[in-house]
Each structure stands twice: as C-alpha cells, then as structure tokens.
Amino acid sequence: MREFPASFPIGSTNIVPATVLAPMAGVTDTIFRRLIRSQGGCGLIMTEFTSSHGVVASVRGKKPSKTEKRYLCFEPEEHPISAQLFGADPAVMADAARHCQDLGFDFVDINFGCPVKKVVRCNGGSGCLRDLPLIADILKAVKSAISIPLTMKFRAGWNDHELVFVQMGKIAEDLGLAAIALHPRTREQGYSGKADWSRIAELKANVKIPVIGNGDIITPEDAVRMIQETKCDAVMIGRAASYNPWIFRQIDEYLRTGAYWQPGEQDRHEIMRRYFTMLAESNWPEAVGKMKQFTSYFTHGVRNGARLRAAIYKHHDTGPILDAVDDFFTRLQHVDEEGTVDSTVAA
C-alpha cells in the first residue's frame, strides 16, 4: 500500500509500525494495553493521562500512591511505552516526568488536549491552549528534567476563532520535542463534529519534527487516507480501538494485502474471555466495573448483544460474568449449528 510509512522516529527509537494507541481515560490501563499488544500491529502505546500532582505525591510519600499503582504500572511486553502527564505547574510537571523516567518509561508525553471540564478548570489539558507562554514554560521545565524523549498531544485550539496548533508545533520544535500529535478538533468541539484533517496537513507543512495524526480513524482505509491527505508521519487511534482491538492488525494486513480480516462472533467471544480473565486475575477492585464497561464495547456488532449486556450488568463478581459470556456465545453457536431458535439469544 503506497505512501504509508513503515516506521517513524521518536528520538533514537524507531517506532514500528507507524501506529499509536491513543491515551484514553478509563480505557488504556495496563491490561487493555497488553491486550492490544497481543493482537499485533501497534507500534507505540501510551498510558491514560495522569495527574502530575498525583505522581509527585507518590514521590514525596516515598511509596507508590494510588495514582502510580493505577495509572503508571506496566509490564515489560508493553515497550515501547509513553507515560502521559497533565498539569499546569512547570515544577510539578518536571518532577512527575523525572519520576516517570525513573520508572522505566521510554518517553514522556504531555497532554494539552483533554477537553473535560474538571481538567480544564485546573488549566490542565486543553485549558493551557489559551496560555502559550505557560505551555513553553512547562515544556522547558520538563525537557530539562529528563533525558528520555519528550512529546506532546494537543488540540487545534480553544475554538475555531482561537486556533493555535501551528504555534504549538513551532514551540515544540524550537524547544527540542521529539514528536507531536494533533487531534484537530477544538476544545469547544469536544468529541462532536468532524475532525478537520486539513489542520494536520497544515501542521505537518510547518514543522520538521514527526507529526502524529489523530481523529476519526475508524477503519484501515481511514488510516491510509489520513496519511495520504496530510503527509503525517504516523496515525494515532483511540475510540475505534476500544471496540475493535484488532484495528492495528487490520491496518497491517490492509497495507500488505489490500484486504483485511473481519472478526466474527467467535472472535469476539475469545477477546472478551481473554480480557475478562486478565481483569479477574488482576484482583483490581474495579475489575467488575471494567467488565461491564467493555461489554458495551466488545458486543459491538454481536447478534442480540443487548441480552448479554443485561445478563452481565446484574452480576457483581467476575466469575459469574465470565460464565455469562461463555453461556451466551455457546447458545449463539448452538443456534447456528442446529438451526433452531433459542429464546435466550433470539430477538
């Protein structure tokens, strides 16, 4: 498949392939990241965005805090991996970045894109987009505190009348950042409307450091089209990966063959059982909640998935949830093999 880069650099590390799992709050914890890694095709993974103040509290307390245990734990198979931080205090951000380096992360990424009100109220995430001098101060402080590469992810601006993405890119380049990622919606847009890929193209035309494009990549065809339309160096995929954890594998297949495998119901059974078993074995207090959350994602396209969701939502332990998953898909298979109608799965 023409024009899609085979890799892209972040500092001295070559990321292969040129695909990135976006940091997503409540989604990209260590278990989900390892699930994505197991499917193949993803070059770089990132943590959920993490409060710099929470990280520093861990350092000052001289023992892992809830923030560190929840957001910054990772396993060797997750490399290369980037720790994403948010905050608006340069000194605190620098201390947090230094700690992430000490934990063994390959890169540190700063979030200037989150549009959530409680984050923006603290001048974190996209709240910083109205204060470019503060952004420069944060980048300078963090860059001087670490020796591993620094990157950042940001939105196009506060709204369509306050676009700062080119200025952001130039600040990053001037301060020696290794790569940048642009989600071309504005903070005002949130997750609504269409991501304007022409802004990614404009950013790429104005900087020499690698540009990662993000926003509205749902299929492998979208990934290829973004590269062709914007000339960006890599693609970052977020929400689509939450309900289609095979998307990076599909992109790889599409680039090699021009076609790609589509998961069937048995594949969705296997991915649910694999992920839910990992959650059950983790002993996380939130394991049951995660199972219920991801049932909504993983039943995307499954016949009568609402029935499975209803069955799972009434349980409060991991064992019965796993049993419900197995029972549902076994009944589906029975319907297909016998050609009979089972009232527990039929609409």
pLDDT digits (tens, 9 = 90+) for 120-138: 666 667 778 889 999 999 9
Q: What percent of the chain has pLDDT over 70?
A: 90
Q: What is the mean pLDDT of residues 229-249?
A: 96
Q: What pLDDT score does 1 carry?
A: 44
Q: What pLDDT score does 329 carry?
A: 92
Question: Residue 346 pLDDT > 60, yes or no?
Answer: no
pLDDT digits (tens, 9 = 90+) for 159-192: 899 999 999 999 999 999 999 999 999 988 888 8
Q: What pLDDT score does 41 carry?
A: 95
Q: What percent of the chain has pLDDT over 90?
A: 76
Which among 183, 194, 258 is positioned nearest to 220, based on CA atoms?
A: 258
Q: What pLDDT score does 57 carry?
A: 84
pLDDT digits (tens, 9 = 90+) for 41-76: 999 999 999 999 889 987 776 666 666 777 899 999
Which among 94, 181, 85, 107 is positioned nearest to 140, based on CA atoms?
A: 94
Q: What residues contact 122, with CB distance under 8 A and at least 6 apart? A: 87, 88
Q: Where are the alpha helices (DSSP H) in the chain?
A: 30-39, 52-61, 66-71, 90-103, 117-120, 132-145, 165-174, 197-206, 220-230, 239-243, 247-257, 265-282, 287-298, 305-313, 318-338
Q: What pLDDT score does 66 carry?
A: 66
Q: Which residues are catalytic?
A: 114
Q: What residues contact 133, with CB distance under 8 A and at least 6 apart? A: none
